[in-house]
Amino acid sequence: MGVEVVFASTLDMEGFLRHLTSKTRLIWVETPSNPLLRVTDVPTLCQRAHQNGTLVAVDSTFGTPYFQTPLDWGADIVMHSMTKYMGGHSDLLGGVLTVRDPALRAQLFEVQKVSGAVASPFDSWLTLRGLRTLAVRMRTHAHNAQKVAEYLEQHPKVSRVYYPGLPSHPQHELAKQLMTGFGGMVGFEIKGNVNEARAVLQSTKLFLLAASLGGVESIISYPVLMSHAAMTREERYARGIQDNFLRLSVGLEESEDLIADLANALATL
């Protein structure tokens, strides 16, 4: 379709922005990112992009509108997977784009109308149901995720934890500036490799082995063979996704029970 795509990391903002050209129409970023929960300095990105006449779109699924509002940072488009936290119960498929410019909204609506990407009435009702409890759910997701991340960080069989709410996170200070809470997603690396990862995956009871996220139930997944299975090992390694990496979607169960479940699973190593 005549579209050229360039992939670059926003961890090096100046290096990222060097890819901007007069032909760059759109920058698409995900923050916090999946699965390593990296945080992008969207306000700086928007300022520089708009000087170039480039639109900025932000996938804010992990942050949700409760914890971050990229439109306030200057973003032109914000995307949410309604399937995840917005729905909150792992029982619908949907997505949403929010925009600040009525003309852009009309353009996107025309694409939606022509392509038929319209949510069913029942999925729309399920989404509205989920939105009614978004605030209280996100507060509990974030509380439990913080407790789980702090537990994993001190565990002798865990080599690294990825969670923006931890002071050890490389962009913790940036996350504090941009987010009012740090969400329910946690990543961690165990001391071991594929076999040890499988042992943990097969040993949890409360954490369900599944590829989705953002529901009331806690989920454990293995990006190497699930969400990022289409990547080659070299591509994954280049992006920091190692064979010993596990991803958690921390749900609404009691944090003590979730920690006990992980403790039992890690004890198998």
Domains and CATH numbers, the chain: 13-132 (3.40.640.10), 134-266 (3.90.1150.10)
Helices (H), the chain: 13-17, 42-51, 64-67, 70-73, 102-115, 121-132, 134-153, 172-178, 194-201, 233-238, 255-266
Per-residue pLDDT, 1: 84
Residue range 91-127, pLDDT digits in tens: 999 999 999 999 999 999 999 999 998 999 999 999 9
Beta carbons of 38 and 13 less than 8 angstroms apart: no
Mean pLDDT of 166-188: 98
**In Å, how far are 78, 142, 155, 157 from 29, measured between CA atoms?**
10, 22, 32, 33
Residue range 198-227, pLDDT digits in tens: 999 999 999 999 989 999 999 999 999 898
241 conformational bin, left if phi > 0, alpha if psi -120 to 50, beta if neither = beta
Strand partners, 189: 160, 245
- pTM (2 d.p.): 0.95
